[in-house]
């Protein structure tokens, strides 16, 4: 964008994008070197690259059109005398500074392994220009690893990588970034056909540490850097699949495979049933109130509404009908976007309510709490069915449900209500130096018993089907109370185990205020009581909350017993809790800050930043800093990681709010650890409030 001001008449070209990745798993048409290319926005890729003795596994997400983030897990045979295979975790980030124009290249800056041990650490400034539809040319300057071959200058001293610093790795190394020796690198990529491309590059990575360890008789690695020239050929057999063969350093032959998808695109075609059309009234019947004294018509109206709403798989909680108004209380357990449930319910109202009813109100409720009420004039609904969704949003009024003194009560016989399901799930244990990935496939039965308004008894139990989590033998060396680092001790149990067994009460305390109290076996590792209060106006992007927890560690068999608070690293405190602030930026991004006391008794704060998509995908990253030193925390220095949520509807094409969610940490330590509690208030409340509903309003007519 800025280049358009630098060169008169320079028009912005399309963004310089690629679905190819290099050996480091980042967007690039080259082999080992970076480029200024970006993946398409919202592209997610997994790359496995291997040459003899060296394997890199990288997950990359295009966070924004100009911002790329990556997490990498590498294994090197014999690099360290202490390990047969040395495993390493690292994070990358790349920022595009300038878009490509007709005359100027795209320019990007990147940090590689900026938050890891530093064995792959480098920084770079790189420019890439597309010469025609097939040829792209790249040149750049690198520091760190990328400044190690034929360097032309040096700025400030940079500490070389050594295994001595691995134990406290994972911290920011601000004094190292863009310091030390610098060197030029460059390359060309050329698309021979739409499926085949070739690349050649001049590499500024001398692989110094690998060659140093090759000369170390105690290490088992063998690497010989003969040449800075690398060559590769890529083949794309199908959309989202890239395979590459390459030569590296004049001595190695390697291969890589990259699988990519764009989270905006569904994995399977939607099999969702089309909604009912809006029914337009006969103007002559609008003032007919005869139905108000006809019990048969009233009963038929109610039955028709409940029948059609059930066909839409939306739960009816309550319904009030007067001469001019209909107010439905619903619970949406099926559609990812509440806007879609609202649109379908309004349609059903238009088809079943007497013609005199002009005002429609729909209140969305969850866990017994009315969250928001959306009001639509029936005449607007009839007029706008074929208009753009934004016009319908302008006509809708979304307010706090407590502004309505006549919110329908629950239907007779609604409570108690039992919901249950049985489904498989996977429990994982990652990044163990003895074996990087272990998992158990388990079968879980879950039940939620709604006793009354806001009262829920929840429980889940599971049994192991197959897996190898019982093979984890590594024990925690933490000098903090073992609040999470001993999680492997909970894994050997085949089952049945009690994963969770709680009773919870959800309440509203006037406009904008919500509360939750949960007691029982809260999660796999802890039992106790958790209390929470949330302030969240229905039209606000800001929410504030507070949570206090009293906890006791559970027995390793995950049944009804409790174990001692005493651990080798100290005593697990009884109390923990946080104050929290949540903010929705209204562009798909949101941020959360939690500040308070963590499970091990340390005090600090957690920052979470995430991007959500209207189809339910969600990616985010978090970091926690507390008052424990990096040395006390142990390897990794502070808690950090990435999290994601994949909507099941994206995979199967059928409507469901179920998701597959997970959190990936480079290391599981004890500092900065929060209690896991099901049904925290912000996640329950936010989806039904105006900012979230407005963001997904495009689904109102679906």
663: helix, strand or coil: strand
Instruction: Tokens 């105690």: give the residue.
Output: 218
List, in order, residues 6 or more apart from 311 with CB less than 8 Å away: none
Q: Model's pTM, two decimal places?
A: 0.92
Residue 452: which H helix or E strand, with range?
strand 435-452
Residues β-bridged to residue 503: 457, 519
- Structurally, what CATH architecture does the domain formed by 417-692 represent? Beta Barrel (2.40)
Least Cα distance to 357 among 313, 329, 319 occurs for 319
CB 189 within 8 A of CB 163: no
Positions of the chain with pLDDT lower than 70, given as ranges = 1-14, 164-170
Backbone angles phi, psi at 164, to 5 degrees: -65, -30
* DSSP 8-state class, residue 27: B
Q: At what angle do helices 338-352 and 295-311 cross, to 10 degrees?
A: 150
**Helix/strand/coil percentages in the chain, nearest 5:** 15, 45, 40
Burial of 509 per CB tally in 10 Å (0-12, 13-18, 19+): exposed
Widest CA span in the chain:
97
How many Cα atoms are found within 13 Å in the side-chain-facing hemisphere of 693?
A: 29
List, in order, residues 6 or more apart from 227 with CB less than 8 Å away: 249, 250, 251
pLDDT given for residue 474 in this prediction: 82
Least Cα distance to 610 among 548, 547, 663 occurs for 663
User: How far apart (Å, rounded) are the C-alpha atoms in residues 71 and 58?
Assistant: 6
Region for 613 from its dihedrals, namely left if φ exceeds 0, alpha if ψ lies in -120 to 50, beta otherwise: beta
Residue 348: which H helix or E strand, with range?
helix 338-352
CB 341 within 8 A of CB 315: no
Q: Which CATH superfamily is domain 3-262 in?
A: monomeric porin ompg (2.40.160.40)
pLDDT given for residue 405 in this prediction: 73
How many Cα atoms are found within 13 Å in the side-chain-facing hemisphere of 288?
A: 13
- Structurally, what CATH architecture does the domain formed by 283-414 represent? 2-Layer Sandwich (3.30)
Instruction: Tokens 């209690």: give the residue.
Output: 675
CB 117 within 8 A of CB 93: no
* DSSP 8-state class, residue 66: T
The separation between CA 631 and the C-alpha centre of its own chain, rounded to angstroms, equals 29
User: How far apart (Å, rounded) are the C-alpha atoms in residues 13 and 18?
Assistant: 15
pLDDT given for residue 13 in this prediction: 41
Residue intervals in the chain for CATH 3.30.300: 283-414
CB 612 within 8 A of CB 590: yes
251: helix, strand or coil: coil
* DSSP 8-state class, residue 356: T
């Amino acid at each position: 964008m800025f280049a358009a001001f630098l060169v008169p008449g320079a028009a912005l070209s399309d963004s310089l994008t690629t679905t190819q990745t290099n050996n480091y798993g980042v967007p690039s048409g080259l082999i080992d070197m970076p480029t200024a290319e970006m993946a398409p926005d919202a592209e997610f890729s997994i790359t496995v690259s291997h040459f003899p003795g060296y394997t890199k596994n990288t997950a990359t997400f295009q966070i924004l059109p100009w911002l790329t983030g990556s997490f990498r897990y590498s294994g090197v045979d014999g690099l360290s005398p202490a390990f047969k295979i040395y495993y390493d975790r690292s994070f990358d980030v790349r920022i595009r500074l300038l878009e490509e124009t007709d005359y100027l290249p795209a320019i990007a800056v990147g940090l590689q392994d900026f938050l890891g041990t530093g064995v792959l650490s480098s920084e770079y400034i790189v420019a890439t220009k597309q010469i025609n539809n097939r040829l792209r040319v790249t040149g750049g300057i690198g520091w760190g690893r990328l400044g190690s071959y034929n360097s032309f200058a040096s700025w400030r001293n940079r500490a070389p990588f050594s295994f001595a610093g691995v134990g406290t790795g994972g911290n920011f190394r601000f004094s190292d970034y863009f310091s030390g020796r610098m060197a030029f690198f460059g390359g060309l990529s050329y698309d021979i056909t739409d499926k085949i491309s070739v690349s050649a590059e001049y590499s500024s990575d001398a692989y110094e540490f690998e060659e140093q360890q090759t000369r170390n008789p105690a290490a088992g690695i063998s690497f010989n850097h003969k040449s800075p020239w690398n060559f590769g050929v890529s083949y794309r057999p199908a959309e989202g699949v890239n395979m590459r063969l390459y030569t590296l350093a004049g001595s190695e032959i390697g291969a890589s495979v990259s699988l990519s998808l764009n989270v905006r695109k569904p994995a399977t075609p939607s099999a969702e049933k089309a909604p009912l059309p809006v029914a337009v009234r006969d103007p002559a019947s609008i003032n007919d109130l005869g139905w108000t004294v006809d019990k048969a018509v009233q009963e038929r109206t109610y039955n028709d509404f409940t029948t059609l709403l059930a066909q839409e798989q939306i739960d009816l909680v309550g319904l009030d009908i007067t001469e001019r108004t209909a107010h439905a209380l619903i619970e949406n357990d099926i559609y990812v976007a509440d806007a879609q449930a609202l649109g379908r319910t309004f349609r059903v109202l238009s088809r079943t309510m007497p013609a005199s009813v002009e005002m429609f109100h729909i209140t969305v409720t969850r866990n017994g709490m009315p969250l928001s009420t959306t009001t639509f004039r029936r005449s607007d609904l009839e007029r706008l069915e074929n208009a753009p969704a934004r016009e319908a949003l302008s006509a809708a009024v979304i307010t706090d449900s407590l502004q309505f003194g006549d919110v329908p009560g629950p239907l007779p016989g609604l409570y108690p209500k039992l919901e249950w399901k049985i489904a498989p799930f996977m429990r994982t244990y990652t990044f163990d130096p003895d074996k990087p990935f272990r998992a158990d496939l388990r079968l879980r039965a879950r039940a939620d018993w709604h006793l009354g308004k806001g009262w829920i008894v929840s429980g889940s139990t599971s049994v192991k089907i197959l897996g190898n989590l019982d093979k984890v033998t590594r024990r925690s060396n933490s000098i903090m109370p073992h609040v999470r680092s001993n999680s492997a001790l909970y894994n050997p149990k085949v089952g049945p185990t009690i994963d969770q067994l709680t009773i919870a009460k959800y309440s509203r305390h006037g406009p904008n205020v919500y509360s939750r109290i949960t007691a029982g076996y809260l999660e796999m590792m802890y039992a106790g009581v958790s209390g929470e209060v949330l302030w969240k106006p229905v039209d606000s992007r800001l929410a504030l909350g507070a949570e206090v927890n009293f906890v006791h560690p559970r027995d390793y068999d995950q049944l009804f017993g409790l174990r001692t608070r005493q651990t080798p690293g100290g005593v697990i405190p009884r109390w923990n809790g946080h104050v929290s602030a949540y903010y929705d930026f209204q562009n798909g991004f949101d941020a959360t800050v939690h500040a308070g006391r963590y499970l091990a008794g340390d005090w600090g704060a957690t920052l979470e930043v995430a991007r959500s998509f209207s189809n339910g995908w969600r990616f985010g990253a978090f970091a926690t800093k507390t008052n424990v030193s990096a040395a006390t925390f142990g390897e990794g220095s502070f808690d950090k990681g990435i999290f994601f949520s994949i909507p099941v509807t994206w995979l199967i094409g059928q409507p469901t709010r179920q998701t597959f969610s997970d959190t990936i940490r480079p290391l599981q330590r004890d500092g900065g650890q929060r209690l896991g509690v099901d049904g925290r208030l912000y996640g329950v409340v936010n989806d039904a409030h105006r900012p979230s509903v407005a963001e997904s309003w495009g689904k109102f007519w679906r």
